[in-house]
Amino acid sequence: MAITAQQYLENLPNYEAAEGEEYMNDKQLEHFKNKLVTWKKLIMEEVDLTIEHMKRDTENPADPADRATLEEEFALELRTRDRERKLLKKIEKSLRDIETGEYGFCKVTGEEIGLARLDARPTADMTIEAKERQELLEKQGVFNN
């Protein structure tokens, strides 16, 4: 089985900041831009593979169990691609944020998100604390994003 875009991203090296290095300097921005562009490219390749697979396997098996298995497989692939479509929007937003100088800063508090969090989730746009508050409010039905 081929490695997924997410697995590939998880295996990329994290950014190692030098002592006293300014947050979101050109070197850091380039690191995250490369990570995001690579992630986007890999997702697009997975989409192409899915399209090829679905075109290739469109025959309708005579056996109802085989047909059900094929339909379930296609449904699962389509759900995965839909999640990736949403992820691609987040990647595009993160790339725009790099260009505008907003990348790496919380959209709620304006604080630094942190290099470790961005390496783990390059599309993060909130600090962990802000995200936890948002999730708590959503659970309580106060805030819907």
Q: Residue 143's pLDDT is what?
A: 59
Burial class (CB in 10 A: 0-12, 13-18, 19+), 1: exposed
In one-letter notation, the amino acid at residue 35 is K
- pLDDT per residue, tens digit, the chain (145 aa), is 456 767 777 778 899 999 999 999 999 999 999 999 999 998 888 877 776 766 666 666 677 777 677 777 777 777 877 788 899 999 999 999 999 999 999 999 999 999 999 999 999 999 999 999 999 999 888 755 5
Instruction: Provide the residue ranges of all domains of the chain, joining segments of one domain with +.
Output: 23-103, 105-145
Q: Residue 61's pLDDT is what?
A: 65
Q: Residue 97's pLDDT is what?
A: 98
Q: Which CATH class is domain 23-103?
A: mainly alpha
The whole-model pTM stands at: 0.78
Dump the DSSP string for the chain: -PPPHHHHHHHSPPP-PPTTPPTT-HHHHHHHHHHHHHHHHHHHHHHHHHHHHHHHT----SSHHHHHHHHHHHHHHHHHHHHHHHHHHHHHHHHHHHHHT-TTB-TTT--B--HHHHHH-TT--S-HHHHHHHHHHHHTTS---
